[in-house]
Amino acid sequence: MVKVIACVLLKNGEAYLPDGSIIKNAAVYCQACANSGADEILFVDTSDSEKEHHNNLTVLKNLSRNDLGFFTAGGTCTHIDDVKKYLYTGAGRMYFAPGADPELIKESISRFGTERTACQVTTADEALRAYELGIRTFYCLNLYGNDVAMAMKAYEDTEVYCLADNREPVLNHGACGLIYSIPEEKAGSVMDYKQQLLHDGYEVNIWKPVFGWEDFKLNNDGLLPVVVQDWKNDEVLMVAYMNEEAYNMTVQTGRMTYYSRSRQSLWIKGETSGHYQYVKSLKIDCDQDTLLARVVQVGAACHTGNRSCFYRDIISRGQESVTAYKVLESVYNTIMDRKQNPKEGSYTNYLFSKGLDKILKKVGEEATEIVIAAKNPDAQDIVYELGDFLYHVMVLMAEKGITWEDVARELADRE
């Protein structure tokens, strides 16, 4: 199985492509790569000073707040804390640059495991020495990838990833994946690279649908209705239709493609507006006559500019059902708004104005109140104090630039 890896360089607090061109909107670029089929994103920290290293880590932390799937980050490390900083951004794996301290590599493997520690190598000899230290994953970012792949082919427990420029030789000598410099305009079309590899006879990670078009029950126009839902919050975004060609293109490209009944032609959602829909899953109902697409929606789904086409009530019985995550996210967003747009008389702004020490003091006080309430027979007392505690924790999170997504990702990694 050949992996397709998108490579991003971090330099002077900015994101660059390997060809040296700056990425204008790094967050959009990385999300598009991840959502359109990249098996991994490789972040290369090119810093040669502590200040630049700090700036690059800040960029990486901000980027990782988006859904990037699996990503690897690394560069020059002189202390185990450097290793932690990369992994704490949410990286599934970190790598050492060539010339790293062997003892530090061994310490990293001991603390975080072989599967989370890798090395960038420039020669076959470097790869062999790293293997002796316990490294099993190698990234080769120069044109000697073929030598590295050949040298490590004898070791079945290794993974070698090389530049796509040397595609034929490195894959023929056992490389597990290719590292691409994907132009910004192609970030949402990573599946095209996979389709080309598939065409050339290589096995890649693409969707293999359980149902073919012939398995569906179509409407009188020969079309299949599609209900489109946001994969994160389950919001229904729109309803559209597919013909067979649209269905096949959706599966092949990973971007929602429909059949426009008014124009009598295919319609790639977002092709003109940039508001693409990247497929997370496709489901068919019990009668096999309606498709449910769960997607990553870029921007608005509706042509009116609204997030969802279903933005107007006809009948409503009041508030929607309350879910814990939505409430926490809503309160956090309000706190962030107060931080960015101060409001006179706001208690939240009072806390921000007093600084971190005041916020920490309140978090500690509210934690103590929970302990005291837990001694009381009425559980509602605990609920009340937990509400106070969580509010102040969210103020702390906003002060330190931490989101609920960061916390959720950390908990998910512990499962």
Paired tokens of 253: 């490209």
**pLDDT reported for residue 319:** 60
Paired tokens of 43: 């972040």
The pTM of the full predicted model, rounded to 2 decimals, is 0.77
CA 142 to chain centre: 26
Give burial (CB, 10 Å; 0-12/13-18/19+) of 53.
Answer: buried
**pLDDT reported for residue 112:** 93
CB 77 within 8 A of CB 83: yes
Which residue carries 């493997």 as its tokens?
109
Residue pLDDT tens, the chain, 415 long: 999 999 999 999 999 999 899 999 999 999 999 999 999 999 999 998 999 999 999 999 889 878 889 999 999 899 999 999 999 888 999 999 999 999 999 999 999 999 999 999 999 999 999 999 999 999 999 988 899 999 999 999 999 999 999 888 899 999 999 999 999 999 999 999 999 999 999 999 998 899 999 999 999 999 999 999 999 888 999 999 999 999 999 999 999 999 999 999 999 999 989 899 999 999 999 999 999 999 999 889 999 989 899 999 898 776 666 677 778 888 998 999 899 888 888 999 999 999 999 999 999 999 999 999 999 888 888 999 999 999 999 999 999 988 888 888 788 776 6
Q: How many other β-carbons are positioned within 10 Å of the β-carbon of residue 400?
A: 10
**pLDDT reported for residue 325:** 78
- By DSSP bridging, strand 291-297 and strand 224-230 are parallel
Query: What is the amino acid identity at position 15?
Result: A
**pLDDT reported for residue 183:** 95
Paired tokens of 142: 């120069």
Grouping H, G, I as helix, E, B as strand and the rest as coil, residue 405 is helix
**pLDDT reported for residue 36:** 93
* DSSP characters over 57-124: HHHHHHHHTS---SEEEEE--SSHHHHHHHHTTT-SEEEEPTT--HHHHHHHHHHH-GGGEEEE-SSH
Grouping H, G, I as helix, E, B as strand and the rest as coil, residue 321 is coil
Q: How many other β-carbons are positioned within 10 Å of the β-carbon of residue 257?
A: 24
Supply φ then ψ for residue 176, to 5 degrees.
-90, -15
Give burial (CB, 10 Å; 0-12/13-18/19+) of 315.
Answer: exposed
**pLDDT reported for residue 364:** 96
**pLDDT reported for residue 320:** 60
**pLDDT reported for residue 249:** 95
